[in-house]
Amino acid sequence: MQEAEFKAWLAERGANTENGRNTRAHAVRTIENNLAALDSPHSDLAEAWQADKFLHLRQRLKAMQADFREGGSDFKTLMPQSERPLNRLASWRSWLGQYGQFLEGAVLGDRYADAIRLHVLENYIEPAREREEDSVEVLVRDVNAALGLKEAWPNICQALAGRKFREMADVRLAERVGANISPATVLRFDLAANDGDIEGELRQRYGVPIVDTAKMLAFGLPDGRQLAWERTVSVAQIWIEDSVDRESCPLPIHRTYLPTQARHSNLPPRLKHRAANGHRPRPVLIVRPADAVQLVELLDWYDDAGPYVDRDWLDRLRSEFLERHPGFVSFEDGASYASNEGSKRRNLVEHAQALVGQLTGEAKDEPSLGSSLLDLLVGKAGVPCELLDWRVINIVQALRTDNPGVVEQAAEDLAQAGDDVAGVMAFVGATWPLMLPHAQANPYAESRTISTMLRALIAPDGMFGIRSTPTDNACWMLTGSPAFGPNPLSEGELAGVMRLVRTMKRIMRDEWQWAPRDLWDAQGFVWETCQKRLPEPEAAVSENNGETPIWLVTSRDGDADGFASFVERATWHLLYDSDSKYNHMVREMQAGDRIVLRDYLPNQRNAPFETNGKPVSAMRIRATGIVTGKGEDGRQVRVDWTPLPEPLLWWLYTNNDTIWRLPLDRDAARKLAAFIFEGEAQDIAWFLNLPFWRDRLNASQDDNIMLNPTNLILFGPPGTGKTYSTAREAVRLCDGLADFAETGEGRASLMARYRQLEAEKRIAFVTFHQAYDYENFVEGLRPDEDAEEQGAGFRLKPYLGILREICALAEHARKKAETGESGRSIDLSTCQFWKMGLGAIRQEEEVYEAALKDNYIALGWGRAEDWSDDRFSTVEAIKSHWLALYPESQEPSNWTQTHRFRNDIAIGDIVIIPYGNSAFRAVGQIVGDYEFIAEAEGYFAHRRKVKWLLTTDEPLPLDAIIDGNFTMRTVYEIPRKRINIPALSRLLTTDGELNDGPAKPTKPDEFVLVIDEINRANISKVFGELITLLEPDKRLGMENALTVRLPYSKVEFGVPANLHVIGTMNTADRSIALLDTALRRRFKFREIAPDPQQLKNAAAATNMPLVEILRTINDRIEYLVDREHRIGHAFFMGCKTSDDVVDVMRDKIIPLLQEYFFEDWSRVRTVLGDGFIGQGVIKAPPGMEGIDRERWFVRDFYSAEPKISLSDAFARLLGKAAILSAVNEDDAPDAENDVA
């Protein structure tokens, strides 16, 4: 082991204490001395590193951790005296990785980043492991202060969130609390060892997932690419972006999805078929690693692979370039290009490198090399330079004037850095805080341009000189995603750009034979071709079947009327870029889209039609326009507005969203578009005849409020579209109408609305099966996981099933409407969300009750100390004061929780009050600053005024609004990505316009519970005593409402009248007995029968008589069995080619008939004819007396010379061709076709 050199290497990177360096060296030396005991065949660590980069040794240490958890003592091989080896083994894995970096010859990169990583490792990670803690939190402000950095928040967040630190410390970044990059950002790391599972490996590499659902776990790579693991597949299935290097992938590609192909709906934005957030759909790959070693091989390849490059767009850019430079052959032989751009850049590079040769190594007091390079970059060195525009040049000059020597030193460090990317990031970190005072807006573009241009002059083949707009355009056109976000240049963004331009250079060199000399030639290509994005190819169509999108936007500008200013400035904008759905919609707007400025008018009682005294909504249309362009910040679009001479008033079909994209696949939306743009009068009678408005406006007030619960079962044979019919019925029950066309676009829109209602928790879905019971459906008992309620011993607590959960939500909506609570939905697009405990449940209920009564939240930590003074604005000040007063009390929550409560929670933020870890009972909005109540004598004396937006009689399930459970901390921020914004918005209301007189009841939101395969469970076992409560007149809110006392929770429970139940039943399921008679009495039954007419489009596409075929098959099945076993039309709906029809017949229809006829192939042949089912004869074996036997086989239509064509087979099925006899089929089929 190279011990002395390793220690020196550690010291150079910020390992400041000798004891720390000795500890690392001791661990590595011990591992090397025990290589044989660790089953390593190598003689020393250097040899082991060369063999597998310590993969075997790191897995061996991990196995020791697993062995210790199971009571083993394998760890004593390395730590014979240790009693707590678990976290020490994790540290040793981390230090072994550092020794590997040392052996690899890792150069000193960004000195800020290295110092940050070592500081956190030594002062946070390792001490926490010694204390046997499972996780540790790092506050960015604390690291900044400890290292004496100057507002280096971006550097700290990037250094600690990156893969390099996670591998170095052997930790997982579990959560980022607070703003993405700020002094108040808290990074929480899991210290538990990665046990080698797929999720552990992915979290270890990539940190916090961007999608974390039951079906999908997805991550973002530093360069912006994405990756996902599909959890529900039995084999390991990894989704990745396509790559120019796909041929070098170490594993076979299981499947490729083209940009036009639909794919899994839970994928992250860059992998989706309909990409969002400014991304274009791109091809994606599925790869299936067989084990942990193959997974690591795949991820190592993907980390280093080149990006996907859209060759069609690249060819268009190539044509643009050649049109500018006719006769261009190569960069070395291109007179036009050289005279325009090439020679200027060559001249600058030569001067820069001459400066490096002259000034590097000089003994000097001032950074003369950095100063000379900056002079060259701003055009003051006697050499023409147009790399920066005048605005950026002015910023550079102002920086140098206000900070003498600082920028020059940063430039000199950049020039002499051993690593291109690390050098650029160190320059950005040193200069970004200095730029802020010198720019009217955030100087994001300047942080990219100045740093990369400087380095590109020094290292022309190591760095790409970035100009933000053309570089961003190039990335969007070639990869489908923008290059930059609204932030200073990040390491990930730079890595993504570098991957793309190196790939472009390789294509220019190897395929185009353009002989690029370095990255400046790639930069010249981008500069000349990407100043603007090329228009989309003509083949591209909008989501509305080629129709121009129409966007209805609010005329409000914050709390003011923005109509005049929007029209005058020819713009429309949001107030913030909070990455909300509205920011995403702004980014989706394109030049040429139509846009409408409107006001939303709720609760109108002056409608020009009869409403029986009930309020209706309206919209006031004030201006129309055309989008002419947009900013890159997700906030603003430029618009050519045309104000209307008089505002138009539109009734009934309205929307209060800040931005509403009109769904033009709906008839109602088309009528609204014609009203706005074509001057057509609104057909009020058509809208009033829709069930939604007919039920609300034509009935009496009592009838309007008295709901009509639906209990419905859709039954029919397999493949009849019961699932789609269920979705349509559920949407109709929730919305009052399901106005969706029977087209592909209409079906997609219906399912999108269904998913939206699911997200709002107004639709719940469950599948019954033989093992499903009352404990799953209604309520059961489970171990109590709420530590704050645990005493000695073991305790069970009631756990809500899916019926109780949706009933709780429906009952809350019913009571809210019954009491006349109304108003406008609260805007959740900009606020932050906090969990706020209010006393221990059942022990300090008076705290919660008092807080509700007097409209405040209260904190129990911090004792009877008044923290109102301004000096307590930081956690350090609170901690220092606390420890001075109470040195014996070392519980960190006394200062961390107090700091969050006093400083981090802002006015306007939302606080959610828990009930245990899996339920909540109130939601409020902060309206006041911190207050100290001396009269409380330290008992919850720290308070903030709130406006209660929601309080519940019974706690509601937490998963209705938040993904995952609460933790035991009293107060902490809940990441926005965990919040179900649509569901929470529906629950909350704030004061709206007040009407005269008492509040009047309104109609509540409707809810639907969908029970798939309702006949597969034991109904009596599942519903129990609740079967009576399903009857419409026994529902809560109805005349004969009933409740029962539940056996476990002992609460009175009823089923609300605004909850509808829809079941589905497959009539061909022969393993299920007759449906429970009690259930049959309480449900309506609607048959969903096969409909051959639905196959007209598929028949035309495949040129097959599918309508007649399905009718014939079903007639024969009904004759031979019964009508319940017919074949549904849905099997053939998706067929587009004859091969699709073959696949359906072979893989779905024939196996289903096998099951129907209990393997009686003669009856299968009777249904399908001899064109699909062949018959042969099996002779008795020689020497054995016996009769000949029949054999059956499925014909192969994919063989080179099929005996019967598909069209002939269908003709035989329909009785339009001669029947083959068994004698004619002596040529036995291949074994692979013999299914009998």
Residue 915's φ and ψ, nearest 5 degrees, are -130, 90
Q: Which tokens is 822 given? A: 């109304």
The answer to whether the beta carbons of residues 594 and 624 sit under 8 Å apart is yes
Residue 1083's φ and ψ, nearest 5 degrees, are -125, 145
Cα–Cα distance for residue pair 1153/1135, rounded to 1 Å: 20
- How big is the CA angle at 937 (ends 935 and 938), to the nearest 5 degrees? 125
Has this prediction a pTM greater than 0.75? Answer: no
Q: Which tokens is 713 given? A: 């079962």
910, β-bridge pairs: 833, 925
Q: Name every residue whose Cβ is closer than 8 Å to that of residue 198 and which is 6 or more positions away in sequence.
A: 229, 236, 295
The answer to whether the beta carbons of residues 980 and 962 sit under 8 Å apart is yes
Q: CA 173, 179, 184, 189: dihedral to nearest 10 degrees?
A: -10
Which of 30, 9, 32 has the alpha carbon at shortest distance from 21? 9
DSSP letters along 12-26, please?
Answer: HTT---HHHHHHHHH
Please give the biggest Cα pair distance in the chain.
111
Other beta carbons within 10 Å of 73:
11
Cα 512 to Cα 305, 328, 351, 509: the distances in Å are 21, 11, 30, 6
Query: In terms of CATH architecture, what is 823-987?
Result: Roll (3.10)
Q: Which tokens is 16 given? A: 């400041």
Identical topology for domains 550-696 and 699-821+999-1089: no
Cα–Cα distance for residue pair 35/249, rounded to 1 Å: 32
Of the chain, the end-to-end C-alpha distance in Å amounts to 68
Q: CA 849, 855, 861, 866: dihedral to nearest 10 degrees?
A: -130
DSSP strand E in 315-398: where?
A: none
Cα–Cα distance for residue pair 1176/1190, rounded to 1 Å: 6
Cα–Cα distance for residue pair 440/211, rounded to 1 Å: 36
- The letter for the amino acid at 536 is E
Q: What does the domain layout of the chain look like in residue ranges? A: 1-106, 197-306, 314-529, 550-696, 699-821+999-1089, 823-987, 1092-1233
- The letter for the amino acid at 701 is Q
CATH 3.90.25 corresponds to the domain 550-696? no
- How big is the CA angle at 832 (ends 831 and 834), to the nearest 5 degrees? 140
Block mean pLDDT (10 aa), the chain, length 1236: 83 70 86 88 87 82 80 85 76 81 62 76 82 82 82 76 74 68 78 66 82 87 88 83 88 82 77 68 88 84 88 90 85 68 77 81 67 90 85 88 89 87 88 77 82 92 92 91 85 91 92 90 91 70 58 88 90 81 83 90 81 82 88 80 90 87 85 87 85 65 59 89 90 79 74 87 91 89 60 69 90 79 64 90 84 92 88 91 87 91 92 90 92 83 91 85 88 91 77 45 85 87 86 86 88 91 83 61 87 89 90 92 89 90 92 89 90 86 82 81 80 69 41 37
Cα–Cα distance for residue pair 735/820, rounded to 1 Å: 20
The answer to whether the beta carbons of residues 1055 and 1029 sit under 8 Å apart is yes
- How big is the CA angle at 1185 (ends 1180 and 1187), to the nearest 5 degrees? 55
DSSP letters along 750-817, please?
Answer: HHHHHHHHHHTTSEEEEE--TT--HHHHTEEEEE---GGG--SS--EEEEE-HHHHHHHHHHHHHHHH
Sheet holding 1084-1087, edge to edge: 763-767, 1007-1012, 1059-1066, 711-716, 1084-1087
3-state secondary structure of 179: coil
Report the half-sphere exposure of 341 (CA within 13 A, side-chain side).
16
Cα 817 to Cα 163, 813, 989: the distances in Å are 51, 6, 12
pLDDT computed for residue 702 by the predictor:
43
CA torsion sign, 663 to 665 to 668 to 672? positive
Residue 378, classified by CB atoms within 10 Å of its CB into exposed (0-12), middle (13-18) or buried (19+), is buried
Quickly tell me which residue has 């300047």 as its tokens: 446
Q: Which tokens is 462 given? A: 């190591």
Quickly tell me which residue has 């609740």 as its tokens: 1026
885: DSSP letter: H
pLDDT computed for residue 508 by the predictor:
92
196-235 burial: b if 16+ Cβ within 10 Å, else e: bebebbbbbbbbbbbbbeeebbbbbbbbbbbbbbbeeeee
The answer to whether the beta carbons of residues 789 and 839 sit under 8 Å apart is no
The answer to whether the beta carbons of residues 989 and 821 sit under 8 Å apart is yes
Cα–Cα distance for residue pair 354/372, rounded to 1 Å: 11
1105-1116 burial: b if 16+ Cβ within 10 Å, else e: bbbbbbbbbbeb
Other beta carbons within 10 Å of 617:
17
Cα–Cα distance for residue pair 90/191, rounded to 1 Å: 8
pLDDT computed for residue 159 by the predictor:
79
- How big is the CA angle at 468 (ends 467 and 472), to the nearest 5 degrees? 120
Which of 45, 65, 62 has the alpha carbon at shortest distance from 54? 45
Beta strands 594-604 and 550-554 are parallel
Cα–Cα distance for residue pair 1116/1123, rounded to 1 Å: 10
Beta strands 910-914 and 763-767 are unpaired
Q: Name every residue whose Cβ is closer than 8 Å to that of residue 247 and which is 6 or more positions away in sequence.
A: none
Fold classification of 699-821+999-1089 (topology level): Rossmann fold (3.40.50)
Q: Name every residue whose Cβ is closer than 8 Å to that of residue 861 and which is 6 or more positions away in sequence.
A: 893, 894, 897, 898, 901, 942, 970
pLDDT computed for residue 275 by the predictor:
59
